[in-house]
Amino acid sequence: MPADTLLTAIRNYLELSPTHSCVIEPITKGASGRTIVRLKAEGYAPYIGIHYTMDRKDNANYLPVSNFLADAGFNVPQVIYDHPGRRVALVEDLGDVDLLSLKDEPWEVREPIYRSAFEQLDKLFYTRPPKDLEFQPPFDEALYRWEQDYFFDQVADEHLGMNPAVVDELSEHPALAQMAKDLGASSRNLVHRDFQSQNIIVNEGEAWLIDFQGMRRGRQEYDLASLIYDPYMDHSAEDRQKLLDLWEEVSEEEPIAPILQKCATQRLMQAMGAYAKIGRQPQQEWFLQHLPTAGKILREVITGSDLEEPLLPVLDALEKA
């Protein structure tokens, strides 16, 4: 059992006796094939314990990517102990405050955290990893097409039960194929892949990155869109503009609007597919509540573009449902 394995790990690391009090607090047990808990041994600072399976190949990337990011000076939790054979790790506990928990705070409170997060993202663009460090397969045309199919399979087919022939026709729309081709033409730099509010921990007034095991090469705009168009935060148009202005100040460049729009479309399609799939699992139904919000944002993003034709039928069906 993961809990037993994690308890054994912290007892071994701290050299605790079998009778030493050690409490486990669940944090998340999720779709990534990982069990994440807070371990509290009496008289010691708490640690985050991670037990992972190989249900997802990127789980094996957490430790090497973590070491790379730490060596490069990024804000990531320190790995204190790891045992690849048992697939467990103990990492620094940065607390429970993430960017999402600041959702209702005024902009003046959130601004420095977003600034810090954008500084990390900008730094990632210029950081060169060791040649022998293997990441997940890069964002290319095929991966973008996979994300699109994931949206249609999980949302249109499985969640909404739309006519399979209609779903197939929509998914093969040339505008989607062109978007995947355009975005897949460049994969120059590293991207986090899940750069959203729950994966940005607030510690000592700065942003700290977690859940970066899916890191790969791709377009920086994908991460940027993930944060600006985050369904968990559901930013107003005014806040999105503030975030864009802040990004331009940090990076000293303006994102190419059509590329950012396409990256936002891709990211929202991927997120909606994940919400629908995970939400069907026992005790994970709460993910489904984010589908309408993500659908609303996606509708705004594609307004006036050739992506309306293949996507609006799904978004209309979702709205009615």
Distance, CA of 176 to CA of 262 (rounded, Å): 10
Two structure tokens written together for 143: 């991966």
pLDDT band at 181 (very low <50, low <70, confident <90, very high): very high
Distance, CA of 321 to CA of 226 (rounded, Å): 25
CA 1 from centre of chain = 26
Is residue 121 within 8 Å of residue 220, measured between CB atoms? yes
Q: What is the pLDDT of residues 137-171, one digit of tens each?
A: 999 999 999 999 999 999 999 999 999 999 999 99
Which has the higher per-residue pLDDT, 269 or 27?
269
Domain range enclosing 43:
2-92
Two structure tokens written together for 6: 């994690």
Is residue 186 within 8 Å of residue 141, measured between CB atoms? no
Mean pLDDT (whole number) for 252-265: 96
Q: What is the pLDDT of residues 277-298, one digit of tens each?
A: 999 988 889 999 999 999 999 9
Domain co-membership, 197 together with 240: yes
Domain co-membership, 43 together with 60: yes
SS3 90: strand
Mean pLDDT (whole number) for 93-110: 96
SS3 62: helix
Which has the higher per-residue pLDDT, 284 or 92?
92
What per-residue confidence (pLDDT) applies to 30? 46
Is residue 296 within 8 Å of residue 312, measured between CB atoms? no
Domain co-membership, 76 together with 111: no
CATH number at residue 31: 3.30.200.20
Domain co-membership, 273 together with 228: yes
What per-residue confidence (pLDDT) applies to 71? 96
CATH number at residue 243: 3.90.1200.10
What per-residue confidence (pLDDT) applies to 218? 95
Domain co-membership, 146 together with 184: yes
Q: Tell me if the pTM is above 0.95.
A: no
Identify residue 66 by its one-letter amino acid code: S
Mean pLDDT (whole number) for 263-277: 98
Distance, CA of 159 to CA of 145 (rounded, Å): 20
Domain co-membership, 77 together with 185: no
Q: What residue spans of the chain are helical by DSSP H?
A: 2-14, 62-71, 107-126, 141-151, 164-171, 174-184, 220-228, 237-251, 257-279, 291-302, 308-320
The number of distinct structural domains making up the chain is 2
pLDDT band at 32 (very low <50, low <70, confident <90, very high): low
Considering 92, 110, 128, which residue would you say is the last residue of a domain? 92
Q: What is the pLDDT of residues 293-316, one digit of tens each?
A: 999 999 999 999 999 999 999 999
Q: 47 Cβ partners below 8 Å, 6+ apart?
A: 10, 38, 39, 80, 90, 91, 92, 93
Domain co-membership, 79 together with 112: no
Identify residue 308 by its one-letter amino acid code: E
CA 88 from centre of chain = 21
Distance, CA of 295 to CA of 300 (rounded, Å): 9
Considering 69, 92, 115, which residue would you say is the last residue of a domain? 92
Considering 72, 92, 112, which residue would you say is the last residue of a domain? 92
Least confident segment among 22-36, 170-184, 189-203: 22-36
Least confident segment among 100-114, 176-190, 305-319: 176-190
Domain co-membership, 6 together with 141: no
Domain co-membership, 174 together with 30: no
Domain co-membership, 27 together with 171: no
Could you tell me which residues are beta bridge partners of residue 24? 39
Domain co-membership, 197 together with 69: no
Place of tokens 């009496």: 42
Domain co-membership, 75 together with 163: no
Q: What is the pLDDT of residues 36-76, one digit of tens each?
A: 899 999 999 999 998 887 777 777 788 899 999 999 999 99
pLDDT band at 28 (very low <50, low <70, confident <90, very high): low
